[in-house]
Amino acid sequence: MGRNILAICGVLMVAAVVCAAPWAKTYTLARTTVALTNEQANSVWAPVAVLWSFPGATTTTVTAARTSQGNTFLLGRMAATNTSTVIWVAEASYPFEFGDVLVLTSTDTNGAVQVIRKEP
């Protein structure tokens, strides 16, 4: 019986990890801004981290902001010098509901930005 309970606990733990697993998508940083809008009426997601990648060492300033109901809130800002990667990790769970926009900017436009999101 003890083994059965351990097996059931193991299955539940794996299911919890799989259900809460984040997903990532990469966008070309062809302009200074990447904006991601939650266009699904019955879906909520939260950014976990944002990674900016540049082909070589650069000096840049990056920001992550949330636009909700016409108001913009700065979530994070970082100035970096002589680096090819900048990472912003969300300090809290910021749920993005229908119509909310995650706005990512960089002063360097040659690179890519990867957004890791999850369902809160």
Sequence spans of domains, the chain = 22-118
Q: Strand, coil or helix: what is 47?
A: strand
CATH entry 2.60.120.230 includes domain 22-118: yes
Mean pLDDT value across the chain: 86
Collapsed DSSP state (helix, strand, coil) of residue 50: strand
**Is residue 57 within 8 Å of 82, Cβ to Cβ?**
yes
The whole-number pLDDT of residue 22 equals 84
Give per-residue pLDDT as tens, 42-87: 999 999 999 999 999 999 999 999 999 999 999 999 999 999 999 9
How far apart CA 94 and CA 38 sit, in angstroms, is: 13
| Side-chain-side CA neighbours of residue 87 (13 Å) | 5
